[in-house]
Amino acid sequence: MLWRWMAGFGVWCLGLRVLAQIDSEHRELVQVGYNQPIEGRAPFAGYAYYYHNQPGFIRTNWVLRAAIAPVYLDAELGMKGALGPQTDLGIGIAGGGFADNYAEVRSGKWIRAESFDGHAAELNLSVYHLFNPVAAGHAPSSIAEMPLQGVLRAGFRDSFFSRLDDTAPDFKVPDDLPAGSVRAGLRWGGREPLLSPTVAVELSVWYQGHFRVNPQTYGYADDRRIEAVAHQFWARALLAYTLTNSAQHFEVSLTAGTSLNPDRFNAFRLGGTLPMAAEFPLVLPGYYFEELSARQFVLLDGLWSVPVVGGWDLVVYGGTAYVNYVPGLSQPGNWHTGLGGGLGWTSPTGAWQILAGYAYGIDAIRGDERGGHNVGLMVQWDLERRGGAAMTDADRVGSWVRRLNPSSWRGFNSLFQH
């Protein structure tokens, strides 16, 4: 069964990623992340995928974006200026095996008898609009000129569920779940899809509606329900910066969300230390990945890294959250806090970035006690930098001019849950 969860988890994370705007930067990245609890048993928590973004695909104003995992594909063809000088159109497809796996976790315990496989296929159409363009090649001269982007997306996704070897015989898995979705958001600034961006500033607000064609009950004697209509609302404030003189780097974010008619399939999931698993990673160090299922939450998290020698960095990170749980997945206590630290390494050319760390979930429930232990590894390989010259200090810190150009403020948007 392990290989199914390994494959499924990688594509599960990918299935939450779609572009917030047509990306004008050429990118070739390999991203790998893995979390392993030291005690207890949890679903495999990791991802591995190749990300390719190609401006000028076939036509000068077309952009091909594709994220490819072993058994999953998430791709979009973007057409810049298709609906006006500052309004882009995107046509997306996604799908593959194990994309919608569901793992039931209650009070720190993975309930394998109530977990099951899920596969999916999706089509979507997106409109992206830049409200305040600056002149080509001109960096913003003030914060007021930072890009304000809007996104409107409509999609249709069909999920197909099947039993695991460990699923209880009397546990009914859901029938096929076709569903439409609508998403709208405003983002001021943004964060590049990198493990450690040099600089980023973001304020954003989002809405997503889920409209199930086949709302249903499932589980033990139909004891749990998939709602016909559900709504999610969330917002994020983020700041990341690399100090020019010392090359110390910090990133801090505040994310909050609420929902109407929440169920297990559209809960906000908090936990783990996998920063590239979603556009809005709800990180809680020391917890299982997506251990907590929330209908409402507020999460503050941050990271600080200090260069030591030879491309090595000391890194500390942490997060704290207040959580109101989805019905059926409540547990004692609403506050959850985790802390972690580790070592990071960047190759001389900047092509490789590696971070290995240990994390402790202070309030995580493990048996009859509190406290969860976790180790993790994150790797980024930037193929654009392979074989290049060694980076200078100026290269490492980067330039406000390039980073604040609207064409560089691009990223992924997770659809949070299936």
At 176-210, the pLDDT tens digits run: 999 999 999 999 988 888 888 889 999 999 999 99
Three-state DSSP state, 175: coil
> Using one digit for the tens of pLDDT, what is the confidence trace for 145-162?
678 999 999 999 999 999
Q: Residue 107 domain-assigned?
A: yes
Which residues span the domain enclosing 201? Answer: 2-413
Long-range Cβ contact pairs of 315-320 (< 8 A, separation 24 or more)? 315/341, 315/342, 315/343, 315/344, 315/355, 315/357, 316/340, 316/341, 317/273, 317/283, 317/285, 317/341, 317/357, 317/359, 318/285, 319/283, 319/284, 319/285
- CA-based torsion, 271, 276, 281, 284: positive or negative: positive
Which two structure tokens, joined as six digits, stand for 74?
Answer: 């998430």
CATH code at position 365: 2.40.160.50
Task: Decide: 395 and 384 in contact? Cβ < 8 Å.
Answer: no
Q: Is residue 363, in this structure, part of any structural domain at all?
A: yes
Report the chain's C-alpha Rg in angstroms.
21
| Total count of domains within the chain | 1
pTM for this predicted structure: 0.87
**Residue 418 included in any domain:** no
CA distance 126 to 21: 9
- Average pLDDT for runs of 10 along the chain of length 418: 45 41 88 92 90 96 94 94 96 93 95 96 97 61 74 97 96 98 95 88 96 97 97 97 92 98 96 89 95 98 95 97 97 97 95 97 96 96 78 45 32 30
Rounded to a whole number of angstroms, the distance between the first and last alpha carbons of the chain is: 22
